[in-house]
Amino acid sequence: MTTYLAAGAAITAGVVALGQAAIVAINAWTAPTAPISLNLVDLKFEGGHFYQDIQPAGADSIRAEWAADISRGPLRLCGGGGIGNYDGTPHRFTPDDWTGDTCPPLQAGDVASATWEWRARDGYRRLSTKIVIE
């Protein structure tokens, strides 16, 4: 009888240990992952150039669609869009390069707006901003 109890206890301990190992493995496999996002650190216009610093989070590089426009009052001066890879490297652009269009000389009060859209694990995300040229 003692042998049966010892064997039963050993089997029970083994089943409990395997169950705990399975729970740990399932939790590790289904653990939530970091969200994928782009974070605008800086966007400014100085000395005839745009300086843009966008940092990815949750991935080394994020591929995103972008759109950039520059307006003066109700008039759209230039604008365009495309697709870029954002790996955290800050960039310097002329207004033409920043918009993908031919821009006239910018003046104080002009408004530059940009939008980035990328696919995250749970759908699409968007980041938008505007700056006023000084």
| Claim to verify: residue 83 and residue 125 sit in the same structural domain | yes
Global pTM reads 0.73
What pLDDT is recorded for position 27? 52
What pLDDT is recorded for position 20? 64
| Claim to verify: residue 7 and residue 57 sit in the same structural domain | no
What pLDDT is recorded for position 83? 95
In sequence order, the 6+-apart residues with CB closer than 8 A to the CB of 37 are 56, 57, 58, 62, 120, 125, 127
pLDDT tens, residue by residue, 67-84:
999 999 999 999 999 999
| Claim to verify: residue 19 and residue 43 sit in the same structural domain | no
CA distances from residue 6 to 14, 17, 20 in whole angstroms, order as listed:
12, 16, 21
Number of domains in the chain: 2
* CATH label of the domain that carries residue 79: 2.60.40.10
| Claim to verify: residue 76 and residue 115 sit in the same structural domain | yes
| Claim to verify: residue 82 and residue 115 sit in the same structural domain | yes
* CB crowding 102-127: b at 16 or more within 10 Å, else e: ebeebeeebebebbbbbeeeeeebeb
pLDDT tens, residue by residue, 5-43:
555 555 555 544 555 655 555 555 555 566 799 999 999
CA distances from residue 69 to 6, 55, 58, 97, 123 in whole angstroms, order as listed:
77, 21, 28, 11, 25
For 47, the domain range is 37-132
| Claim to verify: residue 63 and residue 80 sit in the same structural domain | yes
Strand partners, 126: 117
Q: What kind and span of H or E run contains 56?
A: strand 49-57
| Claim to verify: residue 21 and residue 47 sit in the same structural domain | no
| Claim to verify: residue 16 and residue 59 sit in the same structural domain | no
| Claim to verify: residue 102 and residue 127 sit in the same structural domain | yes
